[in-house]
Amino acid sequence: MKTKLLTLVFLSCLLICPALSKAKVLATLNGQEITEEEVDKVATPRMTKILSQMFDIKREVIDQMIEERLLTADAQKQGLTIDSLRSKILSDAKAVTEDEARSIYQLQKERYQGKEFDEIKLQLMAQLSEQKKQMAMGDYIDNLKKQAQIKINLERPRAKVSVDDDPSQGGPTTAPVTLIEFTEYQCPFCKRARATIKQILDTYGDKVHYVIRDFPLSFHNQAKDAANAAQCAGDQGKYWEFSDELWKIQGQQTTEALTKIATDIGLNLEKFNSCVSSQKYYAEIDKDQDDGVVAGVTGTPAYFINGLFLSGAQPFNNFKSLIDEELAK
């Protein structure tokens, strides 16, 4: 019986194994095959943003399932239905007082376009009540999580992104976290992110090595020249001083404006103008852009935290959660 079984397995493998071992052919050119493996090798890095979005969706579903199961188990322990437990948690949330609503109104008065407190009191109190209920539910679930043993094996996708030889700040190259930003000087979202980058560097000090790489967008006609000028200032040891001034004149980064910055920060104008007019760093900027495209960058700003992708002008806490995860490892 055992011999017959082995014979069947062997015969099956003769039929199936070659098909399994042979790479899937996605296209042919003059009889030459283009396999799925070959395509994936090139395409996968470019899909960083998509893979990150897929991770976020899966992680959100995992969190929802964990919360649902924790609440279900807790409801059973108390002899309640899960709906009854939810209602109990929400009903325990503290009621909103008129004084609280008035304080919020005073702090955000301009939002209400001249409306008096009495006109929007009920609406504002309802909004605050909903916020308190959400906080109460969140606090309750957080407490359940602290009592549970939770291990999440889902790993964020990582991209291989080189720091190249681009300008850097913060910690040394050996810092536990490397933050690479692909950016450009004409992008309003990139400008908005300056305060967040400063907060990261101030918070983490030498634990984060920050690298800035250029990714001028085709529809911003001053971005590439601005990046080139900043690199030229870097030749004289003043990249960051020049960079800071560039953000201040966004949208007005003309040749005259670039020269004025160079004058104001004390650069040797002859060397600076020669560097700028020769477009010395155009090839370097193109390389940054090519590396960004390969890594999956499609817009600015785009960030890689030890290879973990973060897109757009994100709030500090979004960076903090990833950086803290990396430091904890």
Number of CB atoms found within 10 A of residue 256's CB: 8
Q: Of 327, 301, 294, which is closest to residue 315 (Cα–Cα)?
A: 301
Residue 22 is predicted with a pLDDT of 64
Q: Where in the chain is the domain with CATH 3.40.30.10?
A: 168-328
Residue 9 is predicted with a pLDDT of 45
| DSSP-assigned states of every residue in 274-303 | HHHHTTTTHHHHHHHHHHHHHHT--SSSEE
Per residue in 235-290, pLDDT (tens digit) is 999 999 999 999 999 989 999 999 999 999 999 999 999 999 999 999 999 999 99
Q: In the CATH hierarchy, which fold is given to the domain comprising 168-328?
A: Glutaredoxin (3.40.30)
Per residue in 124-181, pLDDT (tens digit) is 999 999 999 999 999 999 999 999 999 999 988 888 899 999 999 999 999 999 999 9
Residue 16 is predicted with a pLDDT of 45
First and final CA of the chain: distance in angstroms?
52
Q: What is this structure's pTM?
A: 0.71
Residue 258 is predicted with a pLDDT of 96
Number of CB atoms found within 10 A of residue 42's CB: 9
Per residue in 22-38, pLDDT (tens digit) is 679 999 999 999 998 88
Per residue in 39-61, pLDDT (tens digit) is 887 787 778 888 888 999 999 99
Q: How far apart are CA 269 and CA 275, in angstroms?
A: 10
What are the Cα distances from residue 81, in Å, to 62, 72, 137?
A: 22, 8, 16
